[in-house]
Amino acid sequence: MSSVYLQLQEPRPRVQQHWALWELGFRPFYLLAAGFALFSVPLWALQFSGLIQAPLLRGSAWHAHEMLFGYTLAVVIGFLFTAGRNWSGQATPTGRPLMLLAALWLLARVLVLTPWTWAALLVNLAVPWGGAWGLWRALKRGSNRRNYFFVGLLVAMGAAAGVLHLNLMGLLQLPTGLGLPVALDIVLFMIAVMAGRILPMFSNNGVPGLNAQRKAAVERASLGTVLALLAFDGLGITGLPLLALLALAAVVHALRLLLWQPWRVLAKPLVWVLQLAYAWLPVHLALRFGAQLGWWASGPATHALTLGLIGMITMGMITRTALGHTGRPLQAGPVELLAYLALGLAAVVRVFVPLLWPAALLVSVQISTLLWVFAFGLYLWRYGPMLMRPRADGLPG
């Protein structure tokens, strides 16, 4: 009987242990993003608290630049290289080309702290444009024209970085809306597109019988309002037209979220973290509406977008996609849950404490920084080893 039983057992695939960091884009870039998040935000908090001297990019400019073109861009490239392989059926950069792009990303983080402004400009252009080239080659070989616009968005991010650097160098006199705000709008559009594609699917897969919906009219309005906001920011349009657009966009994106039934996904952390992140989008729009009217400062609106939406949705994606693409079950354990809760609380503290109690701004920065560090420290502890090791199921990638 025991011999029959043994014959029926299928041998588990034996995974050959080796250094797997350069086998797919998410591995090095998620690791770089999380490590940089752990380093750069405390550095900014120390600078904001007056404990260290400001770097070359003075004041909040360095912090904003690095969180967008450092942390966020690393997650975007890692995600697009990984998704691009699935979309096209073709290889995205691996091995030495991937090493080169990661090295350029690291070099860019160093150069912005030096007096070598031209070198910083060129390398900060090379990273998104190099990412665009790597993605485009895979999409072109796979005839996947549907996702070409992601290549265009990476190119646009590089252009926005170039405008920002030239402005800071005093060599180009263009509206500030053509730098950081437009780059943030580009990231916002990427998130809006991907959220519409994956959040209903993830929600329905995670909660059987949920029936999260996509309505064509709501989808068009959601993406259209974000594109309009990008145009308004690029052209410097303010006043009543901007107020009307912000109000419409807030309503449309809130309706989009409601169609996904977020109140029914609370038992699935890998799902609710993404839906909770998306909830910060209408909050951001509403807070920006109030800031335009002078009801409060612009900081809460900015951090609802950056820490709330971008911070939480990237954490949700770098956990979910890392689990899936390392051959592990799509299940969030205590580590993931703690990281999600810490990051969500960091966003609440950073957005609403200064809004309700402006005198507590410094304290809110310090508390939210500690929570941010805790969240990304957990991520590196849990995911660092798996990002460097081969897939648990023995498959390539």
pLDDT, position 394: 81
Write down the residue that tokens 């160093």 correspond to: 110
List pLDDT tens digits, range 17-44. 688 999 999 999 999 999 999 999 999 9
List pLDDT tens digits, range 87-145. 999 999 999 999 999 999 999 999 998 889 999 999 999 999 999 999 999 999 999 99
pLDDT, position 395: 82
Question: What's the rounded Cα separation, in Å, for the pair 175 and 124?
Answer: 20
pLDDT, position 285: 98
pLDDT, position 6: 36
List pLDDT tens digits, range 47-80. 888 888 765 556 678 888 999 999 999 999 999 9
Cα–Cα distances in Å, from 248 out to 135, 194, 215, 244, 253? 34, 21, 17, 6, 9
Q: How many Cα atoms are found within 13 Å in the side-chain-facing hemisphere of 316?
A: 26
List pLDDT tens digits, range 156-198. 999 999 988 888 888 877 655 567 888 999 999 999 999 999 9
How far is CA 177 from its chain centroid? 20
Specify whether the backbone of 16 is left (phi greater than 0), alpha (psi in -120 to 50) or beta.
beta
Q: What percent of the chain has a predicted confidence (pLDDT) above 90?
A: 80
Q: Is 70 exceeded by the pLDDT of residue 237?
A: yes
- The 10 Å Cβ neighbour count of residue 356 is 11
